[in-house]
Amino acid sequence: MAEKEKLVEIKNLKKYFPVKGGVLQRTIGHVKAVDDVSFDIFKGETLGIVGESGSGKSTLGRTILKLLDPTEGSILFEGNELAKLSHRKMRPYRQNMQMVFQDPFASLNPRMSIGELIEEPMVVQQSMSKQERKDKVVDLLRKVGLPEEAREKYPHEFSGGQRQRIGIARALSINPKFIIGDEPVSALDVSVQSQVLNLMEDLQDEFDLTYLFIAHDLSVVKHISDRVGVMYLGRLAEIGPKEKIYSNPLHPYTQALLSAVPVPNVETKREKIYLKGELPSPSNPPAGCTFHTRCPEAHERCRLEKPEMVHQGEGQYVACHLYKPAAVK
End-to-end CA distance of the chain: 15
* CA distance to 41, 62, 86, 96, 172, per residue, from 90 (Å): 20, 14, 6, 11, 18
Q: Report the SS3 class of residue 262.
A: coil
Residue of 119, 113, 319, 322 lying closest to 236 (CA atoms): 319
For the four alpha carbons of 101, 105, 109 and 113, in that order, the dihedral sign comes to positive
Record the pTM: 0.91
Q: Report the SS3 class of residue 16.
A: strand
Categorize the per-residue pLDDT at 234 as very low, low, confident or very high, splitting at 50, 70 and 90: very high
Please enumerate in sequence order all residues whose Cβ is within 8 A of that of 270, keeping only pairs 6 or more positions apart, or say none.
Answer: 259, 263
Average pLDDT of span 51-62: 93
For the four alpha carbons of 120, 121, 122 and 123, in that order, the dihedral sign comes to positive
Q: Report the SS3 class of residue 281.
A: coil
Answer whether residue 93 shows pLDDT above 60.
Answer: yes
The two beta strands, 227-232 and 46-50, are: parallel
Report residue 309: phi and psi, to 5°: -70, 125
Categorize the per-residue pLDDT at 266 as very low, low, confident or very high, splitting at 50, 70 and 90: low
Answer whether residue 95 shows pLDDT above 60.
Answer: yes
| Domains of the chain as residue ranges with CATH | 6-96+176-319 (3.40.50.300)
Answer whether residue 262 shows pLDDT above 80.
Answer: no
> What is the tens place of the pLDDT at every residue in 116-168?
999 998 888 777 888 999 999 999 999 999 999 999 999 999 998 999 999 99
pLDDT on residue 124: 81
Answer whether residue 329 shows pLDDT above 70.
Answer: no
Residue of 159, 168, 178 lying closest to 200 (CA atoms): 168
Tell me the DSSP string of 185-229: TTTS-HHHHHHHHHHHHHHHHHHT-EEEEE-S-HHHHHHH-SEEE
pLDDT on residue 186: 87
Least confident range of 126-140, 151-165, 204-218, 258-272: 258-272
> What is the tens place of the pLDDT at every residue in 163-198?
999 999 999 999 999 999 999 988 788 888 999 999
Instruction: Give the span between the Cα atoms of 128 and 108, in whole angstroms.
Output: 22
Residues composing the chain: 329
Share of residues in the chain with pLDDT > 90 (%): 71
Report residue 312: phi and psi, to 5°: -115, 15
Average pLDDT, the chain: 90
**Dihedral, CA atoms, 185, 191, 197, 203, nearest 10 degrees?**
-120
